[in-house]
Amino acid sequence: MTTSIADTAPLLIGGELRPATGGATFDVLNPATEEVIGRAADAGREDMDAAIAAARTAFDTTDWSWDHAFRARCLRQLRDALQGHIEELRALTIAEVGAPHMFTTGPQLEGPVADLGWLADLVEAYEWVTELGESEIMGVRSNRSTRPEAIGVVGAITPWNFPNQINFAKIGPALAAGCTVVLKPAPDTPLIAAAVARIAAEETDIPAGVLNVVSSSDHGLGEQLTTDPRVDLVSFTGSTATGKKIMAAAAETLKKVFLELGGKSAAVVLDDADLNSACFMTALNACTHAGQGCALTTRLVVPRERYDEAVEAAKGAMAAFAPKDPNDPGAFCGPVISAVQRERIEGYIALARQEGGTIEIGGGRPTGEGMERGFWVEPTLISGLDNSARVAQEEIFGPVLVVIPHDGDSDAIRIANDSPYGLSGAVWGTDPERIEKVVAGIRTGTLGVNGGQWYGADVPFGGYKQSGIGRERGREGFEEYLEIKSVATPA
């Protein structure tokens, strides 16, 4: 990789690393310092059209979708090439995303890169033809089989909070399945996507047009990608409001849509749980990457008779996760991505006060050394509200935790499910039978029990209700990018 974070990040279209038509660029800020750390090519509609055309041509005219062994080799090449640049990518991820250093050893960078190897193994082991045996219909005997095939051109639209994780969760299985891809990264985090594009173009055998990366400050290019009839599937991660618009726009061409959307996940604490551990871990979860994660638990649902104790325990825990420079190896809570996002979070904190809530800790901007600039928000704990409050119902996407009382296991399940979302959650307790009933009762896509971690390349991730459609990662996520063809031949 021959670039630095000061260079203009190019587009990747049809195997060519190039500027946007007309040479337009836009600045990218470090959210911890507000400094300009680079520029990205600012694509227009002509560039997006060229990227879609390149992906369509590569799918229709090459052996990419049929040569399973070649795809597996290319995925391993990409993994190895990325690992060879891991320190450059780490520095760029910390600078562009504001991701704390420690998370780049996991889901912010190293984890999703390593997961490309899991996908390569899956391609090689996958049953690409399944024999169904003979049948006889109206005197005709036939041998039947099913054959999974790549769905075609994939439009991938990704957010800024975990760009490596989410970019690779779309690029990886789509390429593994034999699809071609047009990736539109979030305008807040285009540099890391462009760095990956450069590595793929210069250091792998992935054919021209198979992977295209188009950065733009114009959100209208996402709509263009969604509505173009040459695109067969749109894979989107982001807000539920935008997901609804994408689903509606994609309906015109009846293309398949994968949506991974919002969450307002509940950590349910039963009356026999270790309350201190549950409150500590939930506070930690809510402060992870400054609360900028759709699957983070942001509602702490505790027994009413232990409510005050739970508030104090959570308050003490959140005090331990004060924001730090994301380059600090001990940092856990960094900045939020932008001034706009900080203002949105502060608006919700003000709303909590208006609704009658008490700000137990936080609620403002930290004033420590090095935080004079940057988009910082104090970890904030809210008490005194029930589950009907807007701050308990709406996704805030910041380090904000709401403590809600429950009146027994059934009531706790009711509260957890009293949400338009169903993405993730947690259960804390000691009685296995009671835990199992709560796990079965909560309508959500992932659950951790007593601190159990579900994250992994082989684990499907996605939500119920307005948290999305489909699953990402795991075998199920890979199969989102496949169509099934049934074939009959004479017996």
pTM: 0.96
Q: 77-96: string of b/e by CB count within 10 Å (b at 16+)?
A: bbbebbeebeebbbebbbbb
Residue type, 177: A
- Residue 373: what pLDDT? 96
Q: Is the separation of the CB atoms in 431 and 270 below 8 Å?
A: yes
Q: Which of 133, 138, 190 is nearest to 159 (CA)?
A: 190
- Between CA 269 and CA 435 the distance in angstroms is 10
The CATH class of 8-261+468-490 is alpha beta
- Residue 368: what pLDDT? 82
Calculate the CA 479 to chain-centre distance. Answer: 18
- Residue 369: what pLDDT? 84
Residue 132 tokens read as: 């169904």
What does each C-alpha distance from 409 to 148, 296, 404, 428, 464 come to in angstroms? 43, 22, 14, 11, 21
Neighbours of 273 (CB within 10 A): 21
Over residues 441-487, the pLDDT tens digits come to 999 999 999 999 999 999 999 999 999 999 999 999 999 999 999 99
Secondary structure in 3-state letters for 162-195: CHHHHHHHHHHHHHHHCCEEEEECCCCCHHHHHH
Residue 466 tokens read as: 């307005």
pLDDT less than 70: residues of the chain = 1-6
> Which of the residues 110, 260, 395, 472 is marked catalytic?
260
Give the residue extent of every domain in the chain: 8-261+468-490, 266-449
Over residues 354-389, the pLDDT tens digits come to 999 999 999 999 998 889 999 999 999 999 999 999
Q: Which residues contact 161 (CB under 8 A, 6 or more apart)?
A: 97, 289, 292, 293, 294, 337, 397
Q: Is the separation of the CB atoms in 37 and 326 below 8 Å?
A: no
96 noted as active-site residue: no
Element (H, E) at 342: helix 339-354
- Residue 5: what pLDDT? 41
CATH architecture of the domain 266-449 equals: 3-Layer(aba) Sandwich (3.40)
- Residue 12: what pLDDT? 98
- Residue 7: what pLDDT? 73
